[in-house]
Structure 1
């Protein structure tokens, strides 16, 4: 629980705010914040509380437990409940053992703004609870899903995985992070509900896993574009590929045109990396057969064309999602692939490719969405798949967290590779020391050699011949 609490505590409020913003989130954690004019008057702050909608979000192990609307204040809701000292449930114990009303106070010059109505406990809390997210739930859509995603992402990028957040509705299903309270156990070591139940469920799930996770299952759905080079235009993949199947089409990034313009390979999941890669090659041959126009170029990577962000999503089941696993994938997989990416791929972040980007799946596992499309090269794809399998199998032995450092976190999002290269050798040494590395070395070492040589992939390259030629994996 909150393995990065010290990371969070070392950051100033301004650094936390900057970190959230570079990760693509709106945040206002400092006095004055980013108000444009720089003014921060009592009246302005009081008015914002009175006329704004806030939500209190409880998260444990990257899972949203509750979302509670806090009302918009007496000025917008004359029939609201009487003012209470604090936002949230008065009289209920918070994560640190103190009254939640006091733990989540929003004060102006040390006073609670007159007329602002928080939410009372008991029946009112039950009635107004917006959503409860069981650990087994899949990806949620709508306003509740967006709020939950914002809360989880905010905690994660600050080094946390459990706690409470105060979110302000900004309109258009956009939410600003105004307060973060990490979850900490009481002096007795006990957690209050609903954290206690979530903690017990997590411990039970982890206790069922065997060393090396022999039940681990891998899948993927890397993307690519079809380009007519003579015009420089993307040809919608839906002209050739179905929406389902091992070679299919999918929606493009917001602002892009065309019905399901992006092509996607969806090989059948397998337990062994080599078997999954064989399925990937088969899916590529299926795409080659269905895309009859041989003049089209296939492009992959992070952003092979301006505005067209592509992903190389990996799916895992047979393993319990937890923050240490996700941080191991970020530091030992996303970081080395970032060192290999074309400079154009940096434009994908932060909207796509953010650290710790995941989505729960109906199959009971999760999808890791941080990576760019590794279809740029079979060598890159093989290394990424074998490395991912090794990391997830043994993540508890991979404890280095260079991306917790604020300068390296910033370097990742800006695409500055120099400081990250210096941080990579200790990561590579730990990976090489893992059980099972000897069998995977022939696939992973080419990646490490390319990193050492400061080589990068070329996203202007046509990948069709690489995947659909006579050479097999």
Structure 2
């Protein structure tokens, strides 16, 4: 629990705020409205953070905004409590405290008892609890924490800001509160059920690409050619394109082995090739091949328990090396997209890792990335290095500064090659590593259609 607490402890309050903002999280821990101005807040003493929570609960701040205290364990909200809206507002009544409903194995929510449902009249509805829980989990994760409390303020227009963060309070002898102890026990039980090497792991993906008419420089909506569903389909685009579904997406059928999944990816690409009849259109992939058009290479996992250490292993051993191959344009998607540890829970009970750009830039890169991801998730407990915990490397990742990241990857590469199972995966991963060692980068202006569907396609 809280394997990266040294990150949180090493940062000043100003450093924590800076790290959160670098990661795309609006935060006012020491500056701006709601931050307070006492010496405790500036010094970063625990009393300052405790006071910020207490002030909001008791209406001590003269800011008329709704605030919420969110307790999180292992990326999931345990409890969400509305605290009132500023001066003169007392803490919320106990019955307004919302605890997320337990999830069934199929991913459906349990209705719980009538009394329990009645206790959460407004937080049980709509997207608010999901939005608050997601923001709190991301903020804690960014600062190296797996569990803790986050104070969030509503700012209107569906905007929320982080005003305070703290690890869980510990009792005598370092004991954790019961809420966290129960969650930790459930997590450990789930991990104990996993078999060595995670043979039940299943992977899927949905890498994106754009259709460009080069003669005009304009994006052609993928919805002109591709359906909303299917292995080759269309998806929503950036703000301003609502309802147009301009982005193309490949959704190969999930498989348990990388080789089989990649065969499905090639099949999906051929299906897209058949449906997109206009041969004059270029297919563009990567991170941001055109300004304002951020693309992702999302990977889906099931048959494995999502944990913060698993996400950190994917960040360090997958996102970092892929960043070394990026075209300079790709960095433009961060921090709105492509942030470290970006994930989304899926209805089937698995999760989606959303940090990578679209690896359709090259079959070699796609093959290496997918195989490497499978290897990492299968053995992440044997991959303990966390270079991105370091403030200088965290900043380097977000500004696209490759030399320090390249140096940091050397010991990670050695650990990957020492993993059980690496020999079987080496034929796919080694070409990727050779590209990194040679200092190669992809070209996001390149038409990738021929790479996947041409005469020499894999």
Question: 2:313 matched to which residue of 1?
Answer: 328
Give the Å deviation of 1:458: 0.3
Question: 1:125 matched to which residue of 2?
Answer: 94
Give the Å deviation of 1:264: 0.3
- The reply to whether residue 11 of structure 1 matches residue 24 of structure 2 is no
TM-score, normalization by structure 1:
0.85
CA 1:238–1:138: 2 relative to 1, 3 Å? farther
Which of residues 65, 70, 73 is equivalent to 1:52?
Answer: 65
- The reply to whether residue 418 of structure 1 matches residue 403 of structure 2 is yes
Q: Distance in 2 between matches of 1:263 and 1:245?
A: 11
Question: 2:102 matched to which residue of 1?
Answer: 134
Give the Å deviation of 1:65: 1.2
Determine helix, strand or coil for the equivalent of 2:212: strand
Question: 1:97 matched to which residue of 2?
Answer: none
Determine helix, strand or coil for the equivalent of 2:451: helix
CA 1:338–1:141: 2 relative to 1, 3 Å? farther
Q: Distance in 1 between matches of 2:217 and 2:32?
A: 40
Question: 1:251 matched to which residue of 2?
Answer: 236
Q: Distance in 2 between matches of 1:7 and 1:72?
A: 32
Determine helix, strand or coil for the equivalent of 1:204: helix
CA 1:233–1:50: 2 relative to 1, 3 Å? closer
CA contact (8 A) 2:327 2:442 kept: yes
Q: Distance in 2 between matches of 1:367 and 1:471?
A: 31
Q: Distance in 1 between matches of 2:170 and 2:266?
A: 49
Give the Å deviation of 1:198: 1.4
Give the Å deviation of 1:323: 0.6
* Superposed counterparts of 1:173-192, under 5 Å: 173-183=158-168, 185-188=170-173, 190-192=175-177
Give the Å deviation of 1:141: 6.3
Q: Distance in 1 between matches of 2:263 and 2:246?
A: 26
* Superposed counterparts of 1:25-424, under 5 Å: 25-30=25-30, 33-34=31-32, 48-73=61-86, 75=87, 115-119=88-92, 124-126=93-95, 128-130=96-98, 132-134=100-102, 142-183=127-168, 185-188=170-173, 190-256=175-241, 259-424=244-409
Determine helix, strand or coil for the equivalent of 2:178: coil
Q: Distance in 2 between matches of 1:377 and 1:353?
A: 19
CA contact (8 A) 1:165 1:181 kept: yes
CA 1:179–1:250: 2 relative to 1, 3 Å? same
Give the Å deviation of 1:195: 1.8
Give the Å deviation of 1:343: 0.4
Determine helix, strand or coil for the equivalent of 1:151: helix
User: Which segment is superposed worse, 404-413 or 253-262?
Assistant: 253-262
Q: Distance in 2 between matches of 1:135 and 1:141?
A: 17
Give the Å deviation of 1:51: 1.7
CA contact (8 A) 2:236 2:242 kept: no
Please tell me the root mean square deviation across aligned C-alpha atoms, in Å: 2.2
CA contact (8 A) 1:299 1:461 kept: yes
Give the Å deviation of 1:35: 5.9
CA 1:460–1:204: 2 relative to 1, 3 Å? same
Q: Distance in 1 between matches of 2:360 and 2:76?
A: 31
Give the Å deviation of 1:21: 0.5
Q: Distance in 2 between matches of 1:214 and 1:472?
A: 30
Give the Å deviation of 1:454: 1.2
Q: Distance in 1 between matches of 2:399 and 2:128?
A: 29
Give the Å deviation of 1:48: 4.6
> Structure 1: which 5+ runs fail to align?
76-114
Give the Å deviation of 1:192: 2.1
Q: Distance in 2 between matches of 1:369 and 1:456?
A: 21
Listed one character per residue, the Cα deviations across residues 242-277 of structure 1 (whole Å, up to 9, x for unaligned) are: 000000000012234661100000000001100000
Q: Distance in 1 between matches of 2:226 and 2:284?
A: 16
Determine helix, strand or coil for the equivalent of 1:132: coil
Q: Distance in 2 between matches of 1:461 and 1:369?
A: 23
Determine helix, strand or coil for the equivalent of 1:215: coil
Give the Å deviation of 1:66: 1.4
Q: Distance in 2 between matches of 1:184 and 1:409?
A: 27
Give the Å deviation of 1:180: 0.7
Listed one character per residue, the Cα deviations across residues 418-455 of structure 1 (whole Å, up to 9, x for unaligned) are: 11111010000000000111111111111111111111
> Structure 2: which 5+ runs fail to align?
40-55, 110-124
TM-score, normalization by structure 2:
0.88
CA contact (8 A) 1:49 1:116 kept: no
Counting matched residue pairs gives: 423
